[in-house]
């Protein structure tokens, strides 16, 4: 759990979460810049392209998002 909090802190402080907004559809795609790769996630669909979500259905990218959004950090 502590390692996940450290990762979340790093994502937020280094501003490695990006929103891509496509016009005119207003389609939103969120990406997270990881240490090795970039992953996309959709909080509305509860989906992330990271291995944690794919293999374990657990993803800290999705877990931290509501908190970060409520604090206007994304």
**What φ, ψ does residue 48 adopt, rounded to 5°?**
-140, 145
Q: What is the pLDDT of residue 67?
A: 76
Q: What is the pLDDT of residue 2?
A: 66
pTM: 0.75
Mean pLDDT by 10 residues, the chain (74 residues): 72 83 93 88 92 86 81 75
If one counts the domains in the chain, the total is 1
> In terms of residue numbers, what domain contains 21?
2-70
- One DSSP character per residue, 26-73 reads TEEEEEEE-SS-EEEEETTTTEE-SHHHHHHS--HHHHHHHHHHHTT-
């Amino acid at each position: 759990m502590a390692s996940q909090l450290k990762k979340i802190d790093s994502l937020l402080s280094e501003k490695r979460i990006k929103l891509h907004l496509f016009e005119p559809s207003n389609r939103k795609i969120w990406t997270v810049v990881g240490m090795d790769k970039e992953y996309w996630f959709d909080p509305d669909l509860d989906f992330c392209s990271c291995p944690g979500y794919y293999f374990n259905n657990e993803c800290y990218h999705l877990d931290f998002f509501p908190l970060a959004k409520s604090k206007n950090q994304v």
